[in-house]
Amino acid sequence: MDVLLIGGGGREHAIAWKLRQSKQLGKLYIAPGNAGTAQCGENVAIKDSDIPALVKFAKDKRVGLAIVGPEEPLAHGAVDAMEAAGIKTFGPNAAAAQLEADKAFSKQLMRSGAISTAEGRVFDRFSDAKAYIASRDEPVVIKAAGLAKGKGVIVCDDPAQGILAAEKIMVDKIFGAAGDKVVVEDKLLGEEASILAFVDGHSIYVMESAQDHKPIGDGDTGPNTGGMGAYSPAPIITEDMEIRITREIFVPTVDAMNRSGAPFKGVLYAGLMITSGGPRVLEFNVRFGDPETQPILMRLQSDLLEVLLAVCEARLEDVFLKWDPRPAVCVVMASGGYPDEYQKGKVITGLKEAEEGGDVVVFHAGTQLRNSDVVTSGGRVLGVTALGANIAAAKARAYEAVGRIHFEGACYRHDIADKAIQRKR
């Protein structure tokens, strides 16, 4: 079966890498792809935002399956357009993608479904948001209601910081139109975890857990990013906790989506805070997370293409996934200056050396080929991912590989997976 994978980040390289292992896979096209996906299939020079061109390409090549990776084409109806053209497509349609694209919609859906989340209010005028925040006396979280590439959340220790954050989002437009509305929430206390599940509209299959590291700096300091690293599994997610999450989060969410007239099909990602009172939703995403996908798919032993087809064909109940029991750690190497301004075009060396010895894969995110060189082309450049006998061994192997890779201005956190290691002691 020929497949078109839409996107060009680390998530897409991980998906392409895993698809390449399927005996069912024929040709694999990636649009637009990156220097890493070029090793898994054929990159196609079509932007993931150019939905008409993507549909035409899929029809011309008679692909058997299209897979939409990033959130923006999902929100803009890529799945709707593909399916209207008769192309089997993995991912939610635009109506279901609102769960991520519109945090106000998501908040209302959680209220209607009695799904545990932070107390919050939605505002479309800064003056109203300012007045509400000023009335609070606890830490708050200010979120751009639209898509902001994973960066639209500002955690504030007091209301004064919250007002400044709301002003930056709504008045200064630091996240563009995504900040036309904001969600103001109470800050939740606990430990974060990422739980992803395959959903075919009715059946739910929860994947192995993971934990992301959003802030740029060690010790969770500095501004939020798209994610500076992840590991799987997350020790905080015990078997009992996973059962609670499935029962209290995933089941009512899928039911609420069905009641709203937007059945969910694809990957449903729950970003959770595990509090003293149980799991509470921080956010929903409607696609594979990045960088959580990298360690999760490193551990997946089953045929990914078979699973994606089962979701599309509403037969997820027939699926049984096998996992490598060893944990995996992903360390993101970013461009200097990220998540603010950064330079591109820096030559990357040491990529082959990093994978020597096995159980290490360097997933490309912001890279491209320039003649015979691989160069940087984005903020998050690489996701260096390793398996190990335990979480500490996986971390050591990942950082050993990171040490073999060089490009000007490279930066990365040094504490990925430390929370898991401390919990294991």
pLDDT at 151: 79
Q: Which of 179, 181, 186, 131 is nearest to 158 (CA)?
A: 186
pLDDT at 424: 65
Do the beta carbons of residue 294 and residue 330 sit within 8 Å? yes
DSSP letters spanning 130-145: HHHHHT--S-EEEEES
| Amino acid at site 69 | G
pLDDT at 377: 98
- Calculate the alpha carbon distances from 357 to 76, 193, 324, 326, 361 in Å: 42, 30, 18, 16, 11
pLDDT at 316: 97
Ordered by where they begin, the domains of the chain are 3-93 (3.40.50.20), 125-180 (3.30.1490), 191-318 (3.30.470.20), 328-424 (3.90.600.10)
Rounded Cα distance between 92 and 272, Å, is: 21
pLDDT at 83: 98
Do the beta carbons of residue 132 and residue 184 sit within 8 Å? yes
Rounded Cα distance between 425 and 114, Å, is: 36
Q: Which of 67, 101, 98 is nearest to 83 (CA)?
A: 67
Instruction: Count the Cβ atoms, other than its own, within 10 Å of residue 125.
Output: 11
Residue spans of the chain under pLDDT 50 = none
